[in-house]
């Protein structure tokens, strides 16, 4: 099928794939772009010769293609995200489109986007994390000849404290509307009352009239239950002046509503139909959840029930995929977090993708939607502070306009660790102004910000400007804040910052700053000077039940910020390459691949009720025979008993038998902490197996066993889903394990695995979670790290089979088949 025909056909196909704030006539514009990664003159002009440019489809992150290099900043992933990138696309417009309103929407462009249509400059948007659109109607050719869109991006070095990515990394849409239509992000749907028996739903819809005549239109709102059944409809007729807009304000009652919450995230569809003289001129679909939220100084309430935030902070990248947004990548990320017991996400430190918020709606995850990492005072030389005065208000308001119908969003954050915390005179004024913008656009949700200083923002009247003060890394100060500011609601907006490398254990257990291996032990106690083990936060949250919960730094490892290596604090402006090749985060409870670290299970033991048990470390300690190995167990059982080769090492009772941890962090004097959240034994090593059995009410209900692995003998493949969509966008994640002949994971294996693909798909990326690996994410091979690596497959637009074959020298090869449909 040629691209032009495909473009027009997509107008029809998209009827079945509405997203929040979508129209039937919106055309996905991701196909058939051309790309050039360098500065070039005249690339915005129609006659420019782009025949030699690279052909690609969006989303695209040019920086993830690498290569890694010490000349790039390890703080930003050691990847070439800065420079100039050009995108061009040739397309035709149906002549019947003339007279309509045609807009181009970018969901995100990294960074400082400038856009031309047919050689005419139509606008720019600096902030790479916010969506924007331009009306391009008057610049188009409607005679069947080529139109050319050109986009120039110029992300700068030293502009980010983490890996930002580069390029058109989110979707682009061509939007064709009648002169009378619903404005972009034009519905605002709130629920003034939600109880078990009644929901009152208020719908304010902005209708734009781009015509030259005053008109009257009928606006109809239809509400469909989670099962797709029409439950109610309301309508009204309003007047709209020429070249102006008017707002339709309607409400309805829904009896016995199916409420949205974290356990049952029920969603209703709202279809807005605009008719003029009896003819439908626009149809717009929104998706909402019927729920109530409120907060007090003593807690947060969802549907009248006190809930605590078992939250994590997430950066926007997806590891080996970089910043490029694939719905399945975000879905898998959130599903893994749900398995840990997470019920809330903080979008640190920027507006997230549309897909992530839709998935949070669907999965029942509460969201703190965050706007900025910086205001006027800089953290890095080329940061967003350069644009804040000119764009801060617009970017914040657009984020709220775009996102305010999502039931998952329960608070707005106006900033993270803002340097203005130290500004006694003006810092609070900026905070107040941003808070006022939030209330102007959406008064239904509380505001917040992440404060990492104590007691500056509280004494400087900044924390008082938001509804819920976010406390970063100050668990020992929770009671102080309550005593001094008793009416202030607070949440642990960034907690722990514990670091580790999956499957790596250093003996003896000690609290070190860095290790010669440039990895971090998975005994879960190492972090930078401000950081502390999760147990500390658990303890102080229990001691201060008025704190609304926590957002752990972080759920996933992310690209860049390889703390504790390379850099020393959040205000370091320069390069973090002293400990190269460390170039990605150690903070995650799971690694870049999405493979859980041990800390994942420590949180799971606190945040879930389904019986679970976890055991560490591995049991391959050749040369350590007879020497004590610390063995830890994370469980939500009452007690656990450890066995070594069938011999009991004793039973430990949770909450009674404490594990002493070595700690050393700011604002905490003791150098040890006795944790009731971990069970532990000191066990003389002998090869064979260790097994832990968990007991509830005296009955054995869970067990975990680890064997001493032999030599690597084979590759084992497993896939997250055996059936994926044949839409050219869906992904399958294949876990690769190096095992001995008996199927035990070889914990030290680093075998090089080569991949080949047959059938209707492609190998999109590979990874292994090693924070020091300089291997390309886009190669057809990868070394295992701690016995594991990952292959990511992408479907084509054909149904059939994708077969992945994995081989390694001296190992038995393996293959796996995925169906696409």
List beta partners, residue 661: 673
Q: How far is CA 455 from the centre of its chain?
A: 30
- Name the residue among 361, 468, 358 with its Cα closest to residue 412: 468
d(CA 206, CA 245): 7
d(CA 514, CA 516): 7
Identify whether the C-beta of residue 812 lies closer than 8 Å to the C-beta of residue 713. Answer: yes
Q: Give Cβ neighbours of residue 119 (< 8 Å, ≥ 6 apart).
A: 44, 45, 46, 148
Pairing mode of beta strands 549-553, 309-313: parallel
3-state SS assignment for residue 625: strand
Q: Tokens 């048990």 map to which residue?
A: 613
Q: For residue 814, give the H/E element and its range.
A: strand 814-820
Identify whether the C-beta of residue 359 lies closer than 8 Å to the C-beta of residue 318. Answer: no
Tokens (6 digits) for 119: 């050689």
Sheet strands side by side (includes 101-106): 27-28, 172-177, 101-106, 132-135
Q: Which of 358, 417, 537, 775 is catalytic?
A: 417
d(CA 521, CA 681): 18
A 10 A CB-CB count for 158 gives 18
d(CA 475, CA 457): 16
3-state SS assignment for residue 477: helix
Respond yes or no: is residue 420 known to be catalytic.
no
Q: How far is CA 92 from the centre of its chain?
A: 35
Identify whether the C-beta of residue 771 lies closer than 8 Å to the C-beta of residue 557. Answer: yes
Q: For residue 340, give the H/E element and its range.
A: helix 327-340
Q: Burial level of 218, CB count in 10 A (0-12/13-18/19+)?
A: middle
**Residue 659 has what DSSP assignment?**
E
Q: Tokens 């208000």 map to which residue?
A: 393
Q: Which of 107, 494, 550, 775 is catalytic?
A: 494
Inter-helix orientation angle 354-363/327-340, to 10°: 40
Respond yes or no: is residue 494 known to be catalytic.
yes
d(CA 128, CA 113): 8
Sign of CA dihedral 485, 488, 492, 493: negative
Q: Give Cβ neighbours of residue 813 (< 8 Å, ≥ 6 apart).
A: 715, 805, 806, 807
Pairing mode of beta strands 752-759, 468-472: unpaired
Tokens (6 digits) for 752: 């090089």
List beta partners, residue 49: none
Peptide bond preceding 455: is omega within 30 degrees of 0, i.e. cis? yes
- Rg (Cα) of the chain, in Å, rounded? 27
Pairing mode of beta strands 814-820, 723-724: parallel
d(CA 131, CA 129): 7
Inter-helix orientation angle 427-441/385-403, to 10°: 30
Tokens (6 digits) for 87: 């995108």
d(CA 655, CA 645): 27
User: Which active-site residues does the annotation give?
Assistant: 417, 494
């Amino acid at each position: 099928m040629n691209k032009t025909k495909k473009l027009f056909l997509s107008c029809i196909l998209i009827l079945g794939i509405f997203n929040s704030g979508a129209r039937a006539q919106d055309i996905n514009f991701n196909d058939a772009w051309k790309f050039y990664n360098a500065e070039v003159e005249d690339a915005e002009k129609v006659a420019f010769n782009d025949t030699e440019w690279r052909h690609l489809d969006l989303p695209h992150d040019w920086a993830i293609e690498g290569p890694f290099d010490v000349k790039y900043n390890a703080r930003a992933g050691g990847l070439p995200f800065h420079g100039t990138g050009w995108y061009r696309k040739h397309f035709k417009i149906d002549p019947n489109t003339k007279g309509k309103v045609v807009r181009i929407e970018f969901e995100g462009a990294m960074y400082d986007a400038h856009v031309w249509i047919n050689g005419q400059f139509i606008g720019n948007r600096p902030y790479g994390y916010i969506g924007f659109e331009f009306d391009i109607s008057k610049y188009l050719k409607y005679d069947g000849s080529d139109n050319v869109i050109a986009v120039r991006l110029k992300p700068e070095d030293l502009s980010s404290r983490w890996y930002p990515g580069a390029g058109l990394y989110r979707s682009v849409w061509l939007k064709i509307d009648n002169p009378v239509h619903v404005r972009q992000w034009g519905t605002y749907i709130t629920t003034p009352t939600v109880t078990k028996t009644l929901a009152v739903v208020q719908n304010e819809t902005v209708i734009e009239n781009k015509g030259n005549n005053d008109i009257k239109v009928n606006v109809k709102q239809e509400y469909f239950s989670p099962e797709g059944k029409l439950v109610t409809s309301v309508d009204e007729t309003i007047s709209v002046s020429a070249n102006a807009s008017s707002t339709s304000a309607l409400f309805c009652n829904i009896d016995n509503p199916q409420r949205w919450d974290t356990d049952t995230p029920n969603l209703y569809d709202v279809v807005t139909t605009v008719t003029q003289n009896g003819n439908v001129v626009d149809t717009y679909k929104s998706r909402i959840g019927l729920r109530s939220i409120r907060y007090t100084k003593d807690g947060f309430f969802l549907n009248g029930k006190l809930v605590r935030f078992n939250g994590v902070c997430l950066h926007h990248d997806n590891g080996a995929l970089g910043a490029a947004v694939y719905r399945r990548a975000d879905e898998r990320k959130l599903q893994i977090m749900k398995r840990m017991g997470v019920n809330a996400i903080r979008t640190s430190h920027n507006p997230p993708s549309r897909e992530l918020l839709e998935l949070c709606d669907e999965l029942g995850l509460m969201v703190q939607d965050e706007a900025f990492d910086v205001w006027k005072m800089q953290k890095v030389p080329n940061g967003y502070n350069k644009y804040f005065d000119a764009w801060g208000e617009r970017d914040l308001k657009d984020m709220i306009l775009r996102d305010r119908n999502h039931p998952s969003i329960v608070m707005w954050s106006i900033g993270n660790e803002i340097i203005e915390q130290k500004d006694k005179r003006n810092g609070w004024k900026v905070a107040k102004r941003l808070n006022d913008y939030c209330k102007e656009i959406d008064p239904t949700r509380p505001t917040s910000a992440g404060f990492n200083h104590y007691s500056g923002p509280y004494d400087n009247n900044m924390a008082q400007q938001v509804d819920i003060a976010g406390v970063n890394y100050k668990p020992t100060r929770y009671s102080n804040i309550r005593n001094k500011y008793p009416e202030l609601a607070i949440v642990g907006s960034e907690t722990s910052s514990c670091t580790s490398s999956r499957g790596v254990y250093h003996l003896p257990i000690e609290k070190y700053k860095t290790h010669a291996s440039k990895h971090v032990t998975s005994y879960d106690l190492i972090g930078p000077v401000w950081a502390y083990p999760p147990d500390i936060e658990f303890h102080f949250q229990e001691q201060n039940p008025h704190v609304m919960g926590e957002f752990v730094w972080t759920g996933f490892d992310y690209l860049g910020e390889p703390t504790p290596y390379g850099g020393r604090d959040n205000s370091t402006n320069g390069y973090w390459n002293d400990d190269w090749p460390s170039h990605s985060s150690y903070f995650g409870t799971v690694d870049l691949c999405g493979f859980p670290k041990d800390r994942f299970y420590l949180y799971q033991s606190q945040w879930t009720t389904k019986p679970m048990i976890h055991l560490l470390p591995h049991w391959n300690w050749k040369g350590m025979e007879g020497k004590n190995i610390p063995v830890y167990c994370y469980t939500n059982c009452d007690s656990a008993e450890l066995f070594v080769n069938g011999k009991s090492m004793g039973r430990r009772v949770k909450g009674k038998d404490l594990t002493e941890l070595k700690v050393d962090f700011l604002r905490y004097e003791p150098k040890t902490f006795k944790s009731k959240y971990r069970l532990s034994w000191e066990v003389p090593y002998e090869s064979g197996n260790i097994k832990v059995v968990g007991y509830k009410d005296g009955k054995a209900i869970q067990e975990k066993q680890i064997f001493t692995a032999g030599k690597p003998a084979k590759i084992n493949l497993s896939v997250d889903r055996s059936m994926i969509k044949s839409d050219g966008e869906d992904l399958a994640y294949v876990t690769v394990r190096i095992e001995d002949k008996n199927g035990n994971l070889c914990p030290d294996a680093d075998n090089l695995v080569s991949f080949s693909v047959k059938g209707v798909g492609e190998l999109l990326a590979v990874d292994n979670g090693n924070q020091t690996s300089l291997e390309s994410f886009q190669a057809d091979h990868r070394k295992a790290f701690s016995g594991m690596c990952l292959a990511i497959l992408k479907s084509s637009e054909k149904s059939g089979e994708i077969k992945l074959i994995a081989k390694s020298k001296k190992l038995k090869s393996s293959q796996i088949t995925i169906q696409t449909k």
